[in-house]
Each structure stands twice: as C-alpha cells, then as structure tokens.
Structure 1
Amino acid sequence: MSINKDSAADLYRECVASDRNIEGDETTPLITNGLLQTRAKGSSFASSVFNLMNAIMGSGILGLSYAMAHTGIVGFSLLLVLVSSLAAYSIHLLLKLCDQTGINSYEGLGEKALQKPGKILVGISIVIQNIGGMSSYLFILKSELPAAIGSFLSPDRTVHDWYEDGRLLLIIVTLCVVVPLAMFPKIGFLGYTSSIAFFFMLYFVVVVVVKKWSIPCPLPHNMTILSDAFKISNSSDSECTPKLFIISSKSGFAIPTMAFSFLCHTTVLPIYCELDRPSKAKMQNISNVSISLSFTIYIISALFGYLTFYTHVDSELLLSYDTFMPRDIMVMVVRLAILLSVLLTVPLIHFPARKAVVFMLFGNRPFSWLIHVTATLTILSVVLLLALFVPDIRNVFGVVGSTTSTCLLFVYPGIFYLKINPGPLRSFDSIGAVLLVVSGFIMGIISLSVIVNTWINYS
C-alpha cells in the first residue's frame, strides 16, 4: 500500500530505534519505492491477531451476560454492534494518523495534536485505563482462584488452608507469573501466551452453551442463596421468558462494560510497530479480524449466559455456575481456563501502561533496564493493591469504562484526527471523527451519571 515516504521513514526510525535500544541493530530497510517494507524479524499476522484479541478479551466477558440481563437481547445486540463498529473505526483513524505522521505511539499522536498537554492527557488516560483493567483481572483471580482450588477438594472439609486464601494466592501468582512475563521488553514476545488465552476463551464459550440445558428454569425453589444477585425463592415460569428490550437503573452499566470489553487501542500501535511487513492495510485487517472474532465470542457467551439464568445472572457469570454446579467437572475446568486466560492478559495490557509512564517521565531516552524494571514493579504494586481492596468488579467496569475507556475509544481518536488533518469537515473521515467525539461524550456522561445515581440510591 503506497504511503507518504517521509512519514513511513519517520515511523521506521522510531520502531528501529526501539529495537536497537533493546536488541542491537538487526533490521533491514523499510522504505522501497515509497512502500513500507519490513524488519528482518517481526510478528506474524496470526501472532498479532492473538495479541490484539488477548488485549480485547479478558474479564469483561464475565460481565456481558449481566449487561444483557439489564438491556434485553435486542437492546444488548444493537449496543454491542454500535460499540464494536465505533471501536474498529477509531482504530482506522489512529492507523491513518500513524501512517501520515510516522508516529508509532498513542501518546505521540496526542503530543502531535495538542502539544505537551495532549501527551500528558493521553498518557494519564492510558495508565488509569490499563491499571483499572489489570486490577479487575487480578480481582477475578482473587475471588475465583480459591473457589477453583476448593472445587477439587472434599466438600466435607472444615479447615481452610493457606491455598484457599484469595489475597495470599493473588500475591503469589503476581510474583511468580505476572511479574516475570511483564518484564519482557517487547510485546511480540507474548504472542504464544495470547494464543493459549484465546483457546481458553473458546472453551469458556463452549461450556456456557452446553450448560444452558443443564440448569432448569424456573430455578430451583428449594435452594437457599445468600448472594443479593440471586433472590430466587419465588422463581416462576414468567422469569424464563427472555426480554428483548429492558431499561432500568442498572442499564447504565451496559455501555461502559462493552467499552471496557472492546478497548485495545493502547496496544494497537505497539503491535503495528513490531508487525512483520507492516502496513496500514495489514494492521487494519488484523484489527477487523480481532474485533469480529471477539464480537462473536462475546455475543454467544452473553446470550447463553443470559438464557441460563435470566434476571438472576450475577455480575460475574462464573459465580452463577458456582452456585448451581459447584462440583461439575466442566465448570471446574472452565474456571481454571478463564483464570489462566485472565492471568496471561495482565502482562499484555501492562506493556502500554509502562510505555506511557516511561514516555511521560523520560521521553525518548534510550532503553534502560533500571527504568524498565522500576516502572514495571511500581505499576504492578499499585495494581495489586487495587485488586486486593476493590469490593465489586462492577465499580471498576463502570467508572473506568465511562471515563478513560470512552475517551481512548472514541474521543481522543476523533479529536486527534480533526487537529492533525484540518481539512474540509464534509469529508467522510472528518464527519466520522466528529461523530466519534460526540458519541464518546454522550456515552461517557450518561453512563457515569446513571452509575453515580445507582450508587447513591443503594448507599
């Protein structure tokens, strides 16, 4: 694909400089007849798809059935199509800007569009968003890992050992798994772990579909359930009728949860920079494939999770299965699969957070292991503390999704495009950029308002 030669050369120099700082000069020229070619070593198409999908999918998949239960099947589907389409289009704008300017980072585009305040604003947003994402993933580990281990033990046990303490287990897996993987200096190294995480998600979807026919509806009357999300003592046949459209105070959690579930924009440009034979068209194809596959997995898991529990679905879907099928072998295995998938996602989304911190504090200074290790340990320490004390995962989805996620998904790409490309507003991409900005502000304000109102009513 033909691009501006000077911009391509700038992009090449930024990517090569990053590689040389870490590995030494192992590159070949990228520019030939105005075409962006390749470095000697780069990530494959499949590896890039797995990395991007791993960045997209994570703990967000566990909250989508809850979102469908409070928006209805048709309402949820329309919202999911809207959010995923806007996410794909905003990636298109980011890649177009990257192609034109030769800038290979989200923070760099912010600086190009809004000078230093833009760089700081984007950097802070990325750090907050990714720390929120990582803390929610570790929150899943804290709440689910003890239950997963306990499901393999005798139900008659009365003594709880150390390996059933969620906080202790979270500290151990963070130190033994997350920290070593997060120390990798290049995002391409995580391609293999991302492919494993993807197949774990596929298994999760299969189990959700299969178990739809294993749990009766109405839910059993004789089960005593302590969770507030499962007040089913008066279950009736009317509760087994799927709703197409639902509007309630809890509907406000749907959009931020979806926005949180499709946000991968902070990893798009690092993946693009390390791509084998990089071009805008190729990276756009990677983004489209990743979003389409993620959309398919999301809609299937959300639909069958909702059709299994209807209005009684928990904000964390796995807790619903734990209530009714605590000793089921498929549920036990899928719990471990999701935990491993979530665990392998944390180092991936840590990469752009660390990159943003280093860029804001040290600019384009050559790679330093001291800075790299210090930034990694500091960020993971903050994430671990948040995960240990966050009371409800919906709080993370709601606040983060309605603020930084909507900005990074919709607002920033639109604003940056309009600032860097001051062309006629009647062009297709300019109109699309304006719609992105407007949609982002509307979604963010409405969602945050509903969430705050819900907190006030339930406090």
Structure 2
Amino acid sequence: MELQKLSIGNHHHDDTVPAEGGIPAEEEMFLPHKSDGSKRPQFTDFEGKTSFGMSVFNLSNAIMGSGILGLSYAMSNTGIVLFLILLTCIAALSCYSVHLLLRSAGVVGIRAYEQLGMRAFGHPGKIVAAIVITLHNIGAMSSYLFIVKSELPLVIQAFLGQTSSSDDWFMNGNYLIIIVTLGIILPLALMKHLGYLGYTSGFSLSCMVFFLSAVIYKRFNIACPLEVFGNFSVTTDVSEDTCTVKYLTINQETAYTIPILAFAFVCHPEVLPIYTELSNPTKRRMQNIGNVSILGMFTMYFLTATFGYLTFYGNTEAELLHTYSKVDPLDTLILCVRLAVLVAVTLTVPVVLFPIRRALLQLLFPGKAFHWLRHIAIALCLLFVVNLLVILVPNIRDIFGITGATTAPSLIFILPGLFYIRIVPTDQEPMTSRPKIQAACFTALGFIFMSMSLTFIGIDWMTGESRNLGGH
C-alpha cells in the first residue's frame, strides 16, 4: 500500500545513492543480490533490467496507498462531477510533475529526490527534501496504524461472533496498535535488511483489487436508506434526499477533498529509482510508464470512490471499510477484505520506516558506519512518535488532510518545479522561456493549494463543526 509509495521505490533508492564517506548498512540496498560493492554508476550510464510492464506495476504500487479508503468520503462532500474534475486535475498535474523530475534528472544524471535537492539548492535543499519525505512517510505510517486501530477490533469482534463492541482491553484499538507494533512491526524494523518485504507490494496491490471488487459487489447488496445494525447511527437524517446522488456539493468538509486526492497520488520520490532499474531507459519511455500507472490508479480510484459513495451516500465515513460495520458487523466478505488490508498495511509499516531512518542517518550522522544502537534507537523513536500520533488523533481524515495539505503539494508541485527551474541551465531554457514559466506557475500553484487547504482545515478545526463526520 502506501509502502508502495516506498517499498519498490526506496529499496531501489537505497542501492543507488551512495552516502557521504561510505555506504553504511542502512544505505545498502534491500535486495542484496544486486550488491557488487562497486561505485554506483549514474543512471545515464546504467542499463537496468526491469521491463516496461513490471515498471508500470512497481510505480502503480508506489502510487496506491491507504488514501483509497478515504476517496468515497471525499466524493460524498464534493459530488460526483466535482470529484471527477478534481481527480482528473490532480492526476494530470502528477504526470506533469513526473515530466519535471525526469527532465531535471536527465540534466545532472541524479536519480534520488534528495540528491536533486542537493544539486539545486546545496545542503539546505537536501535537508528540506529529506524532511518533507520523512514527514510524508510518517503520515503514511500513521494512516496505516490508524487502519489497524479502527479495523482490528472489528475483526476480533467478528471472530468472537459479537455484534457490538465491548470494554475488554483486547477490543481497544489503542492497546492493539501497541501490541501489533511491539510484536510484529518492531522486530521487522530492527532487521538489518528488509529486502524481502519489498515483495509484499504485489500482495498489497492484490488486496486493493480485492477491496475494489468487494465495494462494487456490495453496492448492489446494500439497500438505501441504510438499515443499520444494533446501536449504530447514521450521520444523515432519513429524508427524500438521503439516497439521491449529488453531482456538485460544497460544504465544510470539502476542504479535505483536495488533500486526500493529493495524498493518494504521491509517488514522486520513487519515480527516479524505478527509472534507474528500467531496461532501455529513456525519458519518453519512463514518462509513458508514469502516464500509464497514473491512469490505471485514476481508474481504480474513481471506481472505488463512486461505488462506495453510491452505497452509503451522505453516510460515508472517512474510512470506508468502517462504514460497512454499521450494516452487518459479521459480514464474511468484508471480514476477508479487512484481514487482507490489515496484513498488507502491517507489513508495509517497517518498509516505510526504513527509508525514514536512512534519511535521518544521512542528516544526523553523515558518513558514519552502521551501528546497531543508532539503528535500534531511531526505529524505537519513530514508532513511539507514530503510535502517539495515532492514539491522540481522533480521525484518519485529519491524517489524510494534514499530510495531503503539506507534504503532498511539496512533493508533487513545489519541489519538482523548483528543481526544474534551478537545475535546467538558463542557456538551454532562459527564465523567460515557456517551460520555465510553466514550472514557476506549477510551483506557485503548489503554494496556493497548500495555503488554501491549511486555511480551510484550520477553520474547520476552530469552528468544531461536523467533527463527528467520518469518526470511528
């Protein structure tokens, strides 16, 4: 899942970017069979072996993330037409952003996001890029653990044959994420190499296809208005408009829509590492891979959002799977979907953590050899922070919203545009040239988008209205 934002991408990332003063174990590649101990060549001199189709699969995995669970909620607060327009715009802008990254990388022969920052703005640029990627990955880890927090109690409840929650400790999501973190995630995160976990990306994408199939199937098996089970309540009053499709809607929750969509399309730190592994690598070939991958995820996102929305309409919650429990908490199909998603996101967290630790080691201990104490301490600190966030944040919508409003526009809009302007020589493209002006406008759009999203989200928080929407 959103590992995918990191599994395929960052394990290649690690085996292509040498650290200052040596290659600590943290920066060795995930898949050790490719290690030859020699100096890493620039991608312009390196012939990868990954086919076009497998590269599409890898980048699709990088795009696909936990944000898919929030898309139906986004559509319920925009309407189908506005959602489609926004989704199309974000997808198109993501393709253009890939173009900017590939163009910048082609000029300097660098295949790492942070290293482009280094080339464009020196050490401060590298620091900013690393921090943005780190914060985004922490947001991704938080979203995964939030899914564990909200879904694992429901899975346990279904296995016990209970139709309502209890006060037992093993039904408390906060306790469960701590147990999962200590029992599964931490041991995996402490391993020196996590290469084999990269193969979970295929399983994760399969889980999402299974999830989409279940959403489409349930659309034709759940009646509207909802016949909720037990003590559950719905957020929309039963009226003649309850089951009416809305094509254009603007409300206070609409502020979360664009950040959620942006969060769902972030894959840009993984574009260059995948480019490196591509056989017969050319900019046009990699751009086509980006376009095909984004188009495929666009289709999956739109289908998931549409069928989820047409199932629950105004009752859609910020985490779609949780909404199904209101209808039938013992539903076997949804239980299978939950189990698949839970396994996928749990195995994803250590892989997402690995590149964060690598970035922190580069920033805090550049050139230092591998040391188990640093290796373990950083993992413990990161997992502690992420668990604290998940316990304190009341809604996954807030994680999607804040992450999508800050790090996503930075990775999609702002940094690629700035890199392009700074790296492409002015003798090739003057600042007054059309490509440079377009890149500048693209960067400005990112700042505008970030400012507007944060403003609207801040207003929503201060007013305190509709805070129960999408809650768990």
Same fold, TM exceeding 0.5?
Answer: yes
Matches within 5 A, 1:308-323: 308-323=311-326
Q: Which runs of 5+ in 1 are unaligned?
A: 1-10
Distance in 1 between residues matched to 2:18 and 2:443, nearest whole Å: 29
Match of 2:443 in 1: 437
Q: Is the 8 A contact 2:149 2:176 kept in 1?
A: yes
Alpha-carbon shift at residue 169 of structure 1 (Å)? 2.3
Alpha-carbon shift at residue 309 of structure 1 (Å)? 0.8
Match of 1:105 in 2: 112
Distance in 2 between residues matched to 1:13 and 1:251, nearest whole Å: 40
Alpha-carbon shift at residue 296 of structure 1 (Å)? 1.5
- Alignment CA distance shift 1:259-1:81 (3 Å): same
Matches within 5 A, 1:240-255: 240-255=243-258
Alpha-carbon shift at residue 164 of structure 1 (Å)? 2.6
1:416 aligns with 2:410: no
CA offsets, 1:106-164, max 9 Å, x none?
Answer: 22211221222222222221221111111121011011101112112122799765543
Q: Which moved more, 1:182-191 or 1:441-450?
A: 182-191
Alpha-carbon shift at residue 347 of structure 1 (Å)? 3.0
Q: Which moved more, 1:189-198 or 1:295-304?
A: 189-198
Distance in 2 between residues matched to 1:118 and 1:29, nearest whole Å: 22
Match of 1:173 in 2: 180
Question: SS of the residue aligned with 1:96?
Answer: helix
**Percent identity among equivalent residues?**
44
Distance in 2 between residues matched to 1:277 and 1:329, nearest whole Å: 46
Alpha-carbon shift at residue 308 of structure 1 (Å)? 0.7
Match of 1:6 in 2: none
Q: Which moved more, 1:376-385 or 1:55-64?
A: 376-385
Question: SS of the residue aligned with 1:323?
Answer: coil
Q: Is the 8 A contact 1:88 1:288 kept in 2?
A: yes
Matches within 5 A, 1:297-446: 297-365=300-368, 370-421=373-424, 422=426, 423-425=429-431, 427=433, 429-446=435-452
Matches within 5 A, 1:70-89: 70-89=77-96
Structure 2 residue identity aligned to 1:200: C
- Alignment CA distance shift 1:187-1:158 (3 Å): closer
Structure 2 residue identity aligned to 1:256: P
1:212 aligns with 2:212: no
Alpha-carbon shift at residue 437 of structure 1 (Å)? 0.7
Distance in 1 between residues matched to 2:279 and 2:371, nearest whole Å: 25
CA offsets, 1:206-247, max 9 Å, x none?
Answer: 010011111112234x867555xx234x41332222111111
Distance in 2 between residues matched to 1:280 and 1:395, nearest whole Å: 37
Distance in 1 between residues matched to 2:15 and 2:39, nearest whole Å: 10
CA offsets, 1:376-431, max 9 Å, x none?
Answer: 33322321221222211111111221112111111111011101123224545323
CA offsets, 1:307-357, max 9 Å, x none?
Answer: 111111111111211101211111111111222232233233324322321
- Alignment CA distance shift 1:363-1:89 (3 Å): farther
Structure 1 residue identity aligned to 2:317: D
Structure 1 residue identity aligned to 2:153: P
- Alignment CA distance shift 1:131-1:14 (3 Å): closer
CA offsets, 1:160-182, max 9 Å, x none?
Answer: 65543322321232234333444
Alpha-carbon shift at residue 267 of structure 1 (Å)? 3.1
Alpha-carbon shift at residue 96 of structure 1 (Å)? 2.3
Aligned residue among 136, 139, 147 for 2:154 = 147
Distance in 1 between residues matched to 2:16 and 2:69, nearest whole Å: 41
Q: Is the 8 A contact 1:50 1:194 kept in 2?
A: no
TM-score by length of 1: 0.85
Q: Which moved more, 1:76-85 or 1:384-393?
A: 384-393
CA offsets, 1:63-90, max 9 Å, x none?
Answer: 1111101111010011011111212221
Distance in 2 between residues matched to 1:344 and 1:14, nearest whole Å: 25
Question: SS of the residue aligned with 2:241?
Answer: helix
Q: Is the 8 A contact 2:47 2:278 kept in 1?
A: no
- Alignment CA distance shift 1:223-1:186 (3 Å): closer
Question: SS of the residue aligned with 2:394?
Answer: coil
Distance in 2 between residues matched to 1:182 and 1:409, nearest whole Å: 28
CA offsets, 1:234-278, max 9 Å, x none?
Answer: 413322221111111111100001111111223333444555665
Query: How many pairs are equivalent?
Result: 441
Higher helix proportion (structure 1 or 2): 1
Question: SS of the residue aligned with 1:198?
Answer: helix
Matches within 5 A, 1:228-247: 230-232=234-236, 234-247=237-250
Q: Which runs of 5+ in 2 are unaligned?
A: 1-13, 466-472
Question: SS of the residue aligned with 1:240?
Answer: coil
Alpha-carbon shift at residue 195 of structure 1 (Å)? 0.1
- Alignment CA distance shift 1:319-1:158 (3 Å): closer
Aligned residue among 22, 43, 46 for 1:36 = 46
- Alignment CA distance shift 1:271-1:360 (3 Å): farther
Distance in 1 between residues matched to 2:285 and 2:105, nearest whole Å: 13
Structure 2 residue identity aligned to 1:262: F
Q: Aligned-residue CA RMSD in angstroms?
A: 3.1
1:67 aligns with 2:74: yes
Q: Is the 8 A contact 1:55 1:349 kept in 2?
A: no
Distance in 2 between residues matched to 1:119 and 1:345, nearest whole Å: 26
Structure 2 residue identity aligned to 1:78: I
- Alignment CA distance shift 1:19-1:359 (3 Å): closer
Match of 1:257 in 2: 260
Distance in 2 between residues matched to 1:248 and 1:282, nearest whole Å: 42
Distance in 2 between residues matched to 1:19 and 1:46, nearest whole Å: 32
Question: SS of the residue aligned with 1:218?
Answer: coil
Q: Is the 8 A contact 1:36 1:277 kept in 2?
A: no
